[in-house]
Amino acid sequence: MNHTETTEKAAELAKNWQRIAERSQSVMQAFLDRNAQGPAQLGDPTNMFGAFMAMTSQMMSDPAKLMQDQMNLWQSHMKLWQQTTGRMLGHGGQADPIAAPTTDDRRFRDPAWQENALFDYIKQSYLLTAQWMQDTVQEVEGLDKKTAKKVSFYTRQFADALAPTNFLMTNPEVLRETIESKGENLVRGLDNLLRDMERGDGELKITMTDMDAFEVGKDVAASPGEVVFRNDMMELIQYAPSTKNVHKRPLLMVPPWINKFYILDLRPKNSLVKWATDQGYTVFMISWVNPDEKLAEKSFDDYMLEGPVAALDAIEKATGESEVVTLALCLGGTLLACTLAYLAAIGDKRVKSATFMASLVDFSDPGELGVFIDQEQIESLEERMQEKGGVLDASAMSNTFNMLRANDLIWSFVVNNYLLGKDPFPFDLLYWNADSTRMPAKMHSFYLRNMYQANALRESGGIELAGQKLDLGKIETPVYILATKEDHIAPWQSCYAATQLYGGPVHFVLGGSGHIAGITNSPASAKYPFWTNSKKPKSPETWLKNATEHDGSWWEDWHKWQSRHAGKKVPARAPGDGKLKPIVPAPGAYVMEKAK
């Protein structure tokens, strides 16, 4: 590169830096304008300060151990410094790293993190310190279990935020892109940042996928069918059959209402709806309303009575069949368990089998979600819901779930969108994840206080719905439970606890991967194995130790089980054949309502 080219490149880079500064001011002003009241009154809704004060008090009670921990960290850094100095001076070969990222840590994939001595030093220095912080807080004695979990969780959040990959000057990939594009990546990144702040009305709402790449009803939620019933809480979709004959008992799917139903009807290759219809099931789907302030007083009772119970009545009108088989996901599974206990209490035996996917009924150990559930945080959330007109705004739950996997669902997008200035990749799961919903305050408070906080559902008579005390032990319906091995929302060991609670036969299956990827592991992809064991010991670890691993999709194991409960084959039934006539084509109107 000659002198003229160098001068021109430097001038262009300086010009872009000036644009960056101007855009930065614009971003900051937009943030201040939208938050004119300021965050000073927010206090500490997570009660994090109290947890760390308790930890600090315990640490200071043993200064010798604290000093020894600090000495160990200093010695590790000295060893790393000596190793790096020797490498820079060309002394010796490539030594084994003192600290290395885990195999599933994708932050340090760029070759420079290994090949460049300086960046390798930055990486190892960070990993040493981050691991030291987390080990130190986990070894503090004298904390109650809840406080210890909270301290550990927020320490990890802090460590993740400080990763060198998250900053321009310590990320080799971002530095290369900045030099090669003459700073255009940062200008584009600031445009992306401003757009996401505007999309969140002053709150940063990170774009995780190309939101224009999919259209509900065309690319996702595209299985043919009709809405045949509607009330305030849900639309009931009856899907068109794809086989000449079908099982006599219809299949009712109960999704969670934290997100839209079409996680069970993504693109054809991973749509459980399409696959089930292809196996000869008459599939009905509950599509929950996206509630606004008018539905703020809707209760957990209403979700049960106007959801699954109303669906049973509607299915009988649509098909003439009073008996059904059911399948539910996550919070929908918790509701289905409540419904089965309610039906058992009133002597209603219409449900002949129940499948629970990644669903909790015993909340003794809800995993890291428990970090967000204590008296102070619930009261803070209830205040927020009242300020929002009696609903939980859509961003609240999605932000919580994103924090559980911050490196994958927050920081990777910060680097890609804001530092590299790239657009996110089209991904159906993340499109669905971004299409979140609101929740009524009355229902959500009941759910958090009775399930997560009191764990009352597992106790006989601990919860009362629609005038009936619920007892899971009275449920004699055959049950299929699917949990996933890496689930961070419904830990598989906690899902397994339900095997000891139901009164009827239980078939437990453990799938690979996590809360969503493990559920949508269709036979067409079959990326992850699954495990089965006909025994039901009290310990989930004992169950897994003696379980058999299978290749392929758990869907096929489920169909083998479910077909035994779904009845003989009868001629296929199309929407509108019965007493309920089509209202609108699938996926209906409720799913189209977007939450801001």
Q: What is the set of active-site residues?
A: 330
Residue 587: cis peptide before it, omega within 30 degrees of 0: yes
Give the span between the Cα atoms of 185 and 187, in whole angstroms.
5
- Residue among 323, 331, 164 nearest 254 (CA): 331
Dig out the tokens for 562 from the structure.
Answer: 């479910």
Please enumerate in sequence order all residues whose Cβ is within 8 A of that of 11, keeping only pairs 6 or more positions apart, or say none: none
Please enumerate in sequence order all residues whose Cβ is within 8 A of that of 261, keeping only pairs 6 or more positions apart, or say none: 221, 253, 255, 285, 286, 287, 288, 587, 591
Cα angle for residues 256, 260, 263 (degrees, 5° grid): 85
Give the span between the Cα atoms of 459 and 473, in whole angstroms.
9
- Residue among 381, 478, 488 nearest 439 (CA): 381
Give the span between the Cα atoms of 512 and 528, in whole angstroms.
5
Give the full edge-to-edge strand order of the sheet including 234-239. 548-550, 530-532, 506-511, 479-484, 351-357, 324-329, 251-254, 283-288, 234-239, 225-230, 584-585
- Residue among 230, 205, 349, 322 nearest 285 (CA): 230
Cα angle for residues 422, 428, 431 (degrees, 5° grid): 70
Number of alpha carbons in the 13 Å side-chain half-sphere of residue 210: 10
Q: What is the bridge-based pairing of β-strands 479-484 and 506-511?
A: parallel
Element (H, E) at 355: strand 351-357
Give the span between the Cα atoms of 302 and 300, in whole angstroms.
5
CA 384 to each of CA 293, 303, 398, 452: distance values in angstroms, whole numbers, following the listed order: 13, 22, 15, 19
- Residue among 278, 216, 276 nearest 251 (CA): 276
Give the span between the Cα atoms of 186 and 149, in whole angstroms.
37
